[in-house]
Structure 1
Amino acid sequence: MVYPSIRDWLFSVKTFAAAMIALYIGLALELPRPYWAMATVYIVSNPFVGATRSKALYRALGTMLGASAAVLLVPPFVESPYLFSVIVALWTGTLLYLAVSDRTARSYVFMLAAYTMPIIALPSVTSPGGVFDLAISRTEEILLGIVCASIVGSSLFPSRLAPTIIERTDAWFRDAAFYATETLSGRIAGSAISGARQRIASTINGLELLLSQLAYDHTRPDILTRAHELRGRMQLLLPMMSALADPLIALYNSGRQTWPEGLEALLNDVIKWFNAPLPAASGGYHPDPEANALRERIAAMQPLPAALATWDNALLSNALWRMKQVIDLWQDCRSLRIIITREEGSWRPRFRHWRLGGTERFFDRGIMLFSTVSAGAAVIIACSLWIGSGWADGASAVTLAAIACCFFAALDEPAPMVFKFFVATAIAVVAAGIYLFAVLPHVHDFPMLVILFAGPFILVGTLIPRPQFNMVTVLVAVNTATFISIQDAYSADFLIFLNSNLAGLAGLLYAYLWTRATRPFGAELAASRLLRSSWADVVLTASTRTIEDPRNLAARMLDRLMQLIPRLAATDDHRHPSIESFRDLRIAFNALDLRRLTGRLGGEAPAAIDQVLEDVREYFEWCIDQRVRQPVPERLMSSIDAAVARVTAQGLANAGAPGPTAQTSARRLREALHALVGLRLSLFPATLITPTPPEPEAAA
């Protein structure tokens, strides 16, 4: 068992102090529900100042937006309860859709607005004239808690978010170095490398939210920009290492007696460089002479144009070209890591490519719409049950059901988390009952109340910073504070307490059963939809349709891959391993490279390349139609081999021609050859098939 650290205890004490200050001020100001100020402190508090500030700001905005909606919508529709239920559901579903469409901290505004409106509106149905006062008082109580949490968190031993981001990137560097070591050693499968792949993707996904909070951490704008650039390059490492692995394994399996001279030593030195520590601090630009030396060795080993007619030399050229890209990318990551950590130094990017710079993210709009419609339907049915039963406290059931459905709408399988919500709320009901009927009758002043609250709340607070306990402990703290319902004078009725809290538990149980019935699919459905969507983008890249911004298309495909990798692990579906998903991405990237080059090559090569792209498009359309990956047809291999032969033949014909135009043409032909070899290795993995060397003369 790992006991709470000093930092955990410090966070818990600070949060408890802020909660007690908020409760004291709320009682002094005679707010109707001062306990909401106390509960809000536990909702918005975070171990890091930047996260607390962003959450506080967005909670305030979301609360005001939801409260305003309640004030506007309750009076006109309160006389039509079923219509009002539909309006509440539409509001909740719409704002929830906006929330899940934003993966930054800003999504909290829409999430809060989604369920704050029913929190205020539903209890006001019986007395619509008081909805304005309820909205104002609820907003005041929540803003009081937000202010107290922000001031205490920022002034007492503030903890910055930047060191945590650095810790996450350090973990990524360790996993990436291990992944590179295994790949360059010819190993692309196994539990260890699969685990590293999952951790790398999870780190990249988690950084998106953290970086959106970093702006509230007094971080310099240039450092924030560098952090986003680092994450963009971190995304590229996995597919680029995967692209390097295939030609290396093909060289391993080619049947030749010896490796190309110097290749094994080069690989060993690249592995050492990947695992080398960062250089010592120095001002200005951070050169990397070892990386420069590796690039010079790669350039010296590149086969001459005449040698590319053999398959082994085409593989070697492809491997060396991709190895240089990986070295450029890794050097950029190291340089950015130095700048972010030490907040000094300049940066000259080594890796420059059309794939960088896109900002588009992938969202499965179908799943998102289904999730939000499901949440809205849950609200409508819950309201109908409440109206039909005439249960006076039924509003609490509907409210907690709406909150539970909103909280976990973005999950592939929300039911288990809703059940944890139910368990945490049940624990809070018991704790609140003990306090309300056994402890508080003996409390006669505020200092005694603080002393009696201190032990349990501080102990629970030490678990909040831990991800595995965060949700349950926050819910226990928030619900306990809410259910006790502290006022300026002691007043407790066991039947009222039991009825209102049983209503909340009934609402959560209903939400659990509802999500279990309507969303039983889990990660498998999400993975299959992501996979088919990736095939659709491969079809787009291989077609003749116009692509408005290839960089945004690349960014969308990368983002989808980072979402797909963890889900493939969750499905235990060996038919669609993440290695195949990497190959799909590489097929799309190679197709885009070929589309970019065909108009500039001249000769007979463009027609052969167009036939390859047409065959790729037809194959992936077939996969989409069948909704499952199909065997790659042999004719696609033949069309790729024919295109390789034509490109190499054209390169041989142009070899030795003087002038910059000839050099440019030779470079483009080599790039086209690399893309074709990459396509062949992705569609027909080298571990399964070793192709026959193409004969350029046959294409003449």
Structure 2
Amino acid sequence: MTYPSLRDWLFSVKTFAASMLALYLALIFELPRPYWAMASVYIVSNPFVGATRSKALYRALGTALGAAAAITLVPPFVETPLLFSVIVATWTGTLLYLAMSDRTARSYVFMLAGYTMPLIALPTVTDPTTVFDVAIARTEEITLGIICASVIGSNFLPSRLAPTLIERADAWFRDAAWYGRETLSGHIAGKDVSACRQRLANTVNQLEFLLSQLGYDHTHPGILTRAETLRGRMQLFLPMISALADPLIALRQDLKVWPEGLDALLNDAARWFDEPLPTRAADMHDNAGDPEADNLRARIAGLQPARDALTSWEGALLSNALWRLGQVIDVWQDCRALRSLIAHQDGAWRPRYRHWRLGGTERFYDRGLMLFSCLVPVSAILVACWLWVSSGWHDGAGAVTLAAVACCFFAALDEPAPMVFRFFVATAASVVFAGLYLFVALPKVHDFEMLVLLFAGPFILIGTLIPRPAFNVVTMLVAVNTATFISVQSAYEADFLVFLNSNIAGVAGLLFAYIWVRATRPFGAELAARRLLRSSWNDVALSASPTPIADQRNLTSRMLDRLMQLIPRLAASDDHRHPSIESFRDLRIALNALDLRRSRHKLDGDVPDAIDRVLAGVSEHYARCAQQSARQSAPPALLATIDDALHRVASRALAQTPPAGAGETVANAATPPRALVSQRWLRDTLHALVGVRLALYPAAASQAPSGGEAIA
């Protein structure tokens, strides 16, 4: 067991001090529910200043929005309880959908507004004239807690998010270096490799939310821009290094062809991945560059096959492998440079990897699954309200509100039921703790100082576990619920029956929420993964279709984002046909199809028609996969179509090859610029076709394209 660190203890003491300050001020100001100020501190507090500030701001906005909705909706609809239940459920579901549509810290506004409205509105339906007072008081109490948490967290030994960003990035570099070494040695499967792939994708996903909080940490805008660019390069590394594996495996294992010097190049590239990150910003300036990366690029250029060698299958594979290795080196150098500039906050940067597809901002959202996830809390609120109204339970509002909170809080998870059950257990434990405080300890307390001493031990101890992801939810809920259930007032008032009835309502509501979520969402990550796969197949079909694409950069960013969502949902496996490996190949096919769509306009003769036939076959194949909701075997006819296109491209390149014996420099000097451009497009087209063939038919990598003489 790992004991709490000094940083954990510091966070807990600061949070407890802020909660006691909020409680003291709430008592001084005679707020009706001072314990809400104390509880709010534990809700918004985070070990890092930027996270606390962003959460505090968005909680204040969300509370104000939910309170305003309660004030607006309770008076006109309180006499029609069933209609009012529908309105409350619809409001909560709509705001929850907006929260799930925003993957930044800003989503907290919509989440809070969604369940704050029923928290205020439902307990006041028996006396609607009090809704305004309750809404104002709740806003004041929560705002007071937010201010105390922000002031204490920002001014007393504040912890910044930027060092955490560096720590997360360094962890990614360690995993990426190991993954790169394994890929260069030909290992693309195995549980360790699969688990590493999941960690890399998880880190990229977590950084998106972390970066949304970084702006509240007094971080320089330039650093924030570089951090976002670094995340984008991290996202590119996985598919790029995976794309390199196919031609290397084909050369090493299938064709048994291994050019002299390639082993040394790959070994040196793997060692470069492991090199320590730069410790000085000046090491990565544009003028200094990276000598090791420049040396690797020079060696790649030296191993490039001649143009006439591209007409052989081995030459085409080698050219493809070297081209992709160059891209990996460019991206890795960019990652190293950006990490150095973020750490040292000075220096200039110019990207090594440039591509016309970079710059997209679109993210992927499974709108259907999001809508269903929102309908579960909506239906839970409707059923719970119906049970409350039908039974006439005086404290039933507490059951409905906590059921709404639990269903909303974990709606975005693939499997929310286990977390709702933990919420139920934490709340039940809080009832016990609150009861012990209320009926055993508090009767002996006669001043605020003694109350602080009484709270200090348990709350500080629990607070040390809040920063830990494994305990965060449970310990935060225990602290918040215990503070709420104790219901500290300026004068001691305790009635066991009232305490038991009101708090059992909350526990009953959470038990209902668990049963309801378990019944309505029995599926887990498997369904989300299947839907992500089907959606990705639709996008591959779109990439290869003749349908105009408004912005190919956004299509690319959407496909990358979806892939990063898919990988963590797939279990680690030893299978070479594992969905994560196949999904990388799907992405490569889509990107190669976009390249083919672009290059066909630059070529003439019979090559564009051959490319069109390949694109049509790819589009039909993936449309069939999406229609069947299952991966289908690629048809043999499509392999023949790809081979035909490869022969035509190779023949075209052979026709432009200078006569034997002509020096490369002389040939280039004698070649018209238009012909040089055509040769470049032919080489790019050849790379794209080889990539499509390897991704669709990895088992046929050892077979040279049949049906012609140009490639054999």
Asked whether the two chains share a fold, i.e. TM above 0.5, the reply is yes
Distance 2:709 2:299 in 1: 31
- 1:274 alignment counterpart: 273
1:215 counterpart = 2:198:
no
- 1:14 alignment counterpart: 14
2:509 is paired with a residue of what secondary structure? helix
Deviations 1:330-361 (A, max 9, x none): 00000000000111111010000123111100
Which residue of 392, 402, 405 maps to 1:403?
405
- 1:109 alignment counterpart: 109
After superposing the two structures, state which structure 1 stretch, 298-307 or 422-431, moved more.
298-307
Distance 1:22 1:159 in 2: 21
Which residue of 684, 704, 707 maps to 1:671?
684
Structure 2 contact 251–318 (Cα < 8 Å) conserved: yes
1:378 counterpart = 2:380:
yes
Deviations 1:348-382 (A, max 9, x none): 10000123111100000000000101111111111
Q: CA deviation at 1:255?
A: 3.5
Distance 1:334 1:601 in 2: 37
Distance 2:212 2:191 in 1: 33
Distance 2:576 2:377 in 1: 32
Map 1:217-366 → 2, pairs under 5 A: 217-256=217-256, 259-283=258-282, 284-285=285-286, 286-366=288-368
State the one-letter code of the partner of 2:25: I
Distance 1:81 1:305 in 2: 79
Distance 2:197 2:206 in 1: 14
User: CA distance change for structure 1 residues 76 and 575 in 2, over 3 Å: closer, same or farther?
Assistant: farther
Structure 2 contact 99–107 (Cα < 8 Å) conserved: yes
Distance 1:42 1:571 in 2: 40
State the one-letter code of the partner of 1:488: S
Structure 2 contact 254–701 (Cα < 8 Å) conserved: no
User: CA distance change for structure 1 residues 559 and 339 in 2, over 3 Å: closer, same or farther?
Assistant: same
Deviations 1:267-295 (A, max 9, x none): 11111111111234143435101111111
Distance 1:371 1:66 in 2: 21
* Contiguous gaps of at least 5 residues in structure 1: none
After superposing the two structures, state which structure 1 stretch, 443-452 or 280-289, moved more.
280-289
Q: TM-score, normalised by structure 1?
A: 0.98
1:467 is paired with a residue of what secondary structure? coil
Distance 1:617 1:393 in 2: 59
Which residue of 627, 646, 649 maps to 2:648?
646
Distance 2:337 2:584 in 1: 26
Structure 1 contact 648–696 (Cα < 8 Å) conserved: no
Map 1:166-185 → 2, pairs under 5 A: 166-185=166-185
After superposing the two structures, state which structure 1 stretch, 494-503 or 292-301, moved more.
292-301
Q: CA deviation at 1:305?
A: 1.2
1:216 is paired with a residue of what secondary structure? helix
* Contiguous gaps of at least 5 residues in structure 2: 659-669
User: CA distance change for structure 1 residues 570 and 400 in 2, over 3 Å: closer, same or farther?
Assistant: farther
2:424 is paired with a residue of what secondary structure? helix
Q: TM-score, normalised by structure 2?
A: 0.96
Structure 2 contact 37–143 (Cα < 8 Å) conserved: yes
Structure 2 contact 104–212 (Cα < 8 Å) conserved: yes
- 2:615 alignment counterpart: 613
Structure 1 contact 184–245 (Cα < 8 Å) conserved: yes
State the one-letter code of the partner of 1:668: W
Which residue of 697, 703, 708 maps to 1:691?
703
- 1:560 alignment counterpart: 562
Deviations 1:478-510 (A, max 9, x none): 000000000000000000000011100110000
User: CA distance change for structure 1 residues 617 and 267 in 2, over 3 Å: closer, same or farther?
Assistant: same
- 1:128 alignment counterpart: 128
User: CA distance change for structure 1 residues 280 and 467 in 2, over 3 Å: closer, same or farther?
Assistant: closer
Structure 2 contact 182–188 (Cα < 8 Å) conserved: yes
Q: CA deviation at 1:624?
A: 1.5
Distance 2:2 2:693 in 1: 50
Distance 2:491 2:694 in 1: 76
Q: CA deviation at 1:623?
A: 1.0
Deviations 1:176-212 (A, max 9, x none): 0000000001111111111110110010000000000
Q: CA deviation at 1:105?
A: 0.1
Which residue of 675, 682, 700 maps to 1:662?
675
Deviations 1:570-623 (A, max 9, x none): 899997520001001111000001001111111111111110011111111111
- 2:94 alignment counterpart: 94
Distance 1:331 1:119 in 2: 52
Deviations 1:546-585 (A, max 9, x none): 1011111000000000000011128999975200010011
Map 1:476-515 → 2, pairs under 5 A: 476-515=478-517
- 2:440 alignment counterpart: 438
Distance 1:22 1:374 in 2: 35
State the one-letter code of the partner of 1:183: T
Distance 1:684 1:694 in 2: 14
Structure 1 contact 315–677 (Cα < 8 Å) conserved: yes
State the one-letter code of the partner of 2:361: T
Distance 1:135 1:570 in 2: 49
Distance 2:374 2:613 in 1: 43
User: CA distance change for structure 1 residues 573 and 485 in 2, over 3 Å: closer, same or farther?
Assistant: farther
- 1:387 alignment counterpart: 389
Q: What percentage of residue pairs aligned between the two structures are identical? A: 70
Structure 2 contact 22–38 (Cα < 8 Å) conserved: yes
User: CA distance change for structure 1 residues 261 and 695 in 2, over 3 Å: closer, same or farther?
Assistant: farther
Distance 2:266 2:549 in 1: 37
Distance 2:126 2:56 in 1: 31
- 1:74 alignment counterpart: 74
Distance 1:305 1:637 in 2: 24
Which residue of 600, 603, 606 maps to 2:602?
600
1:31 is paired with a residue of what secondary structure? coil
Structure 1 contact 16–458 (Cα < 8 Å) conserved: yes
Structure 2 contact 312–710 (Cα < 8 Å) conserved: no
Distance 1:82 1:280 in 2: 65
Distance 1:524 1:445 in 2: 55
Distance 2:363 2:255 in 1: 43
After superposing the two structures, state which structure 1 stretch, 585-594 or 350-359, moved more.
350-359
State the one-letter code of the partner of 1:330: W
- 2:694 alignment counterpart: 681
Structure 2 contact 640–706 (Cα < 8 Å) conserved: no
Distance 2:127 2:705 in 1: 83
After superposing the two structures, state which structure 1 stretch, 247-256 or 385-394, moved more.
247-256
After superposing the two structures, state which structure 1 stretch, 349-358 or 36-45, moved more.
349-358
User: CA distance change for structure 1 residues 562 and 425 in 2, over 3 Å: closer, same or farther?
Assistant: same
Q: CA deviation at 1:696?
A: 5.2
2:231 is paired with a residue of what secondary structure? helix
State the one-letter code of the partner of 2:351: P
Q: CA deviation at 1:225?
A: 0.1
1:677 is paired with a residue of what secondary structure? helix
Distance 1:22 1:698 in 2: 79
Structure 2 contact 195–572 (Cα < 8 Å) conserved: no
Which residue of 539, 544, 547 maps to 1:545?
547
